Chain A
Amino acid sequence: MLPAELKESLTEHIASVDHPRELVVDIMFAIQDQFGYLSDEAVEEVAQLLNMSPLEVEELATFYTFIYREPVGKYVIHVCDSVICWMDGYESIRDHLCNKLGVEMGETTSDGLFTLLPVCCIGYCDRSPAILINKKVYGPLTPEKLDDILENLRAQG
């Protein structure tokens, strides 16, 4: 399933380290970057590349917050819901996002652009309420600022 070029670079990387298993998260991320998420097939692929069992890969894939085992949108929005963002009103940010995008937390818009997910403290409490979009931070947020951000992303498609 992997494009030949990607497979080659991953194989090379794996051959260059003492303990291939240490790369399992990197390999999962690399494949996820290519396809957006980690499909069943991808789990098998990771296992084969690293000489692990698919089950060993699966227990990691489902453990980590930033590995997605289901299809996600082009932009994955992680909304911080930990205590400082809670104090600063993350709930209104979350509700505004849900209304604006017409989806619930955990869902993806029908145009495949946006996925909403909760996340715990992302380490930007000095900029709360804060969110991550594709691992890039935005904050402190207001509903107006959110509208601008969403519009910009939509314009980029």
Chain B
Amino acid sequence: MSSIQRIATVYKKDVYWVLGNFKLLGIMLMPILFIIFFSQTGKGALFSFIMVFINAFIGIFSTSYLIIEEKNKGTLLSLLTTPLKSFELLLAKFFFNLTLCLLISLLAIVVNSRLDLLVSPYALINLALYAGLTCFVGCVVGMFFKNEQEMSIVAPILMFFFIFGDIVAKTASGSAYFPFFPDYHITQVIKNPMSLDANYMPHTFFNLLYFLIALVSATLYTQFYFSNNRETRVSKTLIGMIGFFTLALMVSALINKDESRQRLDPQGRVSQRFVSKYWSGRFEFDGNLWEMQKILDTTARSVFVMHPSKQVQQNKSGRPEGIEMSIALRPAEKEESTKLKRYQLFRKDPRRELLSYETIQHKTHEFQKFIYFHEEKLIILLESFCSEQLLQISLDVESKGLTSLQTYWMHLQNLLDNQHFTCSRN
């Protein structure tokens, strides 16, 4: 009998077991309630949060619960007195929970009318990698803890890092010890594809890397856990783990030596350096001269440029209402191919209704001008490639009725067509 057949047997057993055990079934399907409560969240950040939450919950909490339940029954060890190998058991549990993660994620996608995600390979790949990663973490947690009580304390803490890890990592990135913390990539990379932000595609590599690390770690831990010589190996494993983390922290501290004082994530650091060196902006709009104000937000990936003005009223949170301008600086690989990719992305993206595209020249810069609707907003985006950097200027127009939209449209057309803004290097 092959490995695959044995894995399939345990997988099938788990399906029937969970279907027949209402307690387990309840825990496994609990995220469905969450989906129902937060249905029709649309395309905003809440949807990304739901997707991350669902997978963290099933992957970490449900997986570990399933393993602990079976461990306490004693059936786990009984299974291993058959030809079933420990890594086959791990894979069976992994695939079962991964299937559940993906099915419930699919439900969330359908309920929230986000079928466009199904045609976005990066979104799906990152979703699967993230779900797989959490499932492996859940397997290790399930084997590590003796009972549900112990697990119930630790699993939510882990879930917190897997849900809000990007915020934690960004906040803690000023510390010399935390830049190593990988959750920035794990969570951010799932959240961004959920918003179909193509600029984070290269970070899929990190998700793949963490997934592979989790796969190897979970396999090794499973073999260690079910080995017959655990007591003597425990000390070696502990020494190994302490050594590994010490080394990782040292490497991390070394890499981040120069920037340890800057409380910014890696991308933020690049943006900060670039903006403070080269960029300032000023433009005319609606008969007024607008000064761009650099705001370095430690929790933002890009550098936002705001424009305080007597005409702009501030809302409750103190942010100016009305037109918002942002500059994002991101590395461009090769100018021509990137230009083409950007155009294709805009054209194919079902969520972006591309109204017009053209190349315009402004002083020394050549801009790609995209005018499109996105999330009920009219966006005018100018992109330019210079010195291997992609420079973006975008104007978002909040939809406040047709009249307002038309008004803004007119002003923006005027602004762009007459090139009343200036972008200059310091």
Answer whether A and B are interacting partners.
no
Report A's interface with B, CB cutoff 8 A: none
Report B's interface with A, CB cutoff 8 A: none
